[in-house]
Amino acid sequence: MITKEVISPPGAPNETFVINLGPQHPATHGVLRVKIVMDGEYVVRAEPICGYIHRMQEKMGENRTYAQFLPNTSRIDYLSAMTYTHGFVGAVERAAKLQVPPRAEYIRVITSEMNRISSHLVWWGAFLLDLGGFTPLLYAFDDREKILDLLEAITGSRLTYSYYRIGGLYNDVDDDFIKGTREFIAQMRPRLKMYRSLVTDNIILRKRLIEIGPISKEMCRKYGATGPVIRGSGIPYDVRKVEPYSAYPEFDFLVPTCEEGDSMARYLVRMEEMVQSLRIIEQALDKLPSGPVMAEKVPRVLKLPAGDYCYAVEAARGRFAVRIVSDNKEIPYRVKLRTPSLSNLSLFEEASAGMLLPDALALMGSLDLVIPDIDR
């Protein structure tokens, strides 16, 4: 990577200018605004400005019942709606001490992992779009379409599922879903190999990603980065392993990490995560127990005992944690949503200093930001 110190000739005039990247800009995928102080093509300081799609999700949690807030959780990070709902229902179940039937937990794992794959596919296509390659996006959406069709058949929606209920699931999966998912796994494996040979091994892509935008372990810890960002820096932090939840302890899967910490490392971690997710889905389908998908005796009017409850899940972008403070009423006293994208974005200012503008945008793409997830 070329940084400012290497290039700038001695005695060059020290003039900077400001460009306003966003809220409408092709690289920010939404309404993120980044105020960049530039010296020529070099980024001196990039300051992300959030809040353009702030929807007061946390405040909404404080003035409606748990069941009423449930659909909101799909709309925080619309690309991994399943895992976000999982975080919320998990927190409520933990507080209410509800025992979720094993079949429901297995189906939660299956659908969450499918959702992770579809989320990573969107990231992959959009990231390549950032780098100027248009075609992979359409291939990614072709695969994602199959996941969306499968999930639509059981949940009724294609993006904001709200499939999990407090104590279980909205409905059971049928044999068509299981058969379709197995077919999807069989199709997806050769596709991932094809993406590797067509895109990942492309010399232009490698030159644009290797050693670009390094993020150190210290920087990850300092800003609380999680998910593929921290794993790309060599720290094997995955909520599914370090704070096992749901049925994850019963499956055999690896947490892919890369020591390099550059954009390529984050890219490779996500690509490998899709392979691991396929493994988890396959194991879950093999071991899928029979039985009910809803816990018995879920109270119609749910009042959580007074206290402070937290539940974390590994969403596609990192650790998503829900903290509920209850004062034994129908409506929670406080709902705190810890979303991964905000922490991942916050290291952008430090990591991008001194980089060329296209490299900084490649770094931003490799963080996989979802703007509603930042602003909530």
Partner 1 sequence: MTEAITNLVKLLATEPYRLLVFLVGMMAFVGLNAAYLVWVERKGAARFQRRPGPTEVGYAGLLQPIADAVKLMSKQLIVPAGVDRTLFRVAPLLMMSPALMSLAVIPWGENLAARNINVGLLMIFSFASINVMAIMLGGWASRNKYAIISAARVVSQNVAYEIPMLLVAITMIMVTGTMNLNEIVQQQAGAFWHWNLFRVWINPLMPVTFLIFYTCMLAETNRAPFDMAEAESELVAGAYTEYSGMGFGVFFMAEYANILLGCALATVLFLGGWQSPFGILSGVIWFLLKMYFLVFSVVWIRWTFPRTQFYGLLNLSWKILIPVSLLTLILSSAMIKLFHHA
Name residue 322's beta-bridge partners.
311, 337
Reading the block at residue 204, the tokens are: 């232009």
User: Which residue from 202, 216, 246, 346 is in contact with partner 1, where contact means CB under 8 A?
Assistant: 202
Each residue 206-245 as x (binds partner 1 by CB under 8 A) or -, in order, gives -xx-------------------------------------
When the beta carbons of 292 and 358 are compared against partner 1, the nearer one is 358
One-letter amino acid at 72 equals N
User: Which residue from 16, 26, 56, 152 is in contact with partner 1, where contact means CB under 8 A?
Assistant: 26
Task: List binders of partner 1 among 39-78 (CB under 8 A).
Answer: 40-41
Across the beta sheet with 33-39, the strand order is 17-21, 33-39, 42-49
Instruction: Please report whether residue 27 would count as binding partner 1 according to CB under 8 A.
Output: yes
> Could you tell me which stretch among 24-32, 48-56, 98-106, 236-244 binds partner 1 (CB under 8 A)?
24-32
Instruction: Please report whether residue 371 would count as binding partner 1 according to CB under 8 A.
Output: no
When the beta carbons of 36 and 269 are compared against partner 1, the nearer one is 36
User: Which residue from 16, 51, 142, 174 is in contact with partner 1, where contact means CB under 8 A?
Assistant: 142
Q: Report the number of secondary-structure helices (H) and strands (E) in the chain.
A: 16, 8
User: Which residue from 8, 16, 56, 132 is in contact with partner 1, where contact means CB under 8 A?
Assistant: 132
User: Which residue from 130, 272, 273, 282 is in contact with partner 1, where contact means CB under 8 A?
Assistant: 130
When the beta carbons of 192 and 310 are compared against partner 1, the nearer one is 192
Instruction: Please report whether residue 188 would count as binding partner 1 according to CB under 8 A.
Output: no
Instruction: Please report whether residue 356 would count as binding partner 1 according to CB under 8 A.
Output: yes
Instruction: Please report whether residue 204 would count as binding partner 1 according to CB under 8 A.
Output: yes
User: Which residue from 135, 157, 187, 328 is in contact with partner 1, where contact means CB under 8 A?
Assistant: 135
Reading the block at residue 106, the tokens are: 């297995």
> Could you tell me which stretch among 103-111, 137-145, 327-335, 340-348 binds partner 1 (CB under 8 A)?
137-145
If one counts every other C-beta atom within 10 angstroms of the C-beta of residue 23, the result is 16
Q: Where are the alpha helices (DSSP H) in the chain?
A: 4-7, 57-62, 66-73, 81-96, 102-130, 135-155, 175-195, 203-209, 217-223, 228-232, 239-242, 263-286, 340-346, 348-352, 357-366, 371-375
> Could you tell me which stretch among 93-101, 124-132, 182-190, 318-326 binds partner 1 (CB under 8 A)?
124-132
Instruction: Please report whether residue 148 would count as binding partner 1 according to CB under 8 A.
Output: no
Count, residues near partner 1 per rule CB under 8 A: 30
In angstroms, what is the C-alpha Rg of the chain? Answer: 21
Give the count of alpha carbons within 13 A of 278, CB side only.
Answer: 18
Measure the CA–CA gap between 217 and 229, rounded to whole angstroms.
10
> Site residues (CB under 8 A) for partner 1?
2, 17, 19, 25-27, 40-41, 128-135, 137-139, 142, 202, 204-205, 207-208, 356-359, 361
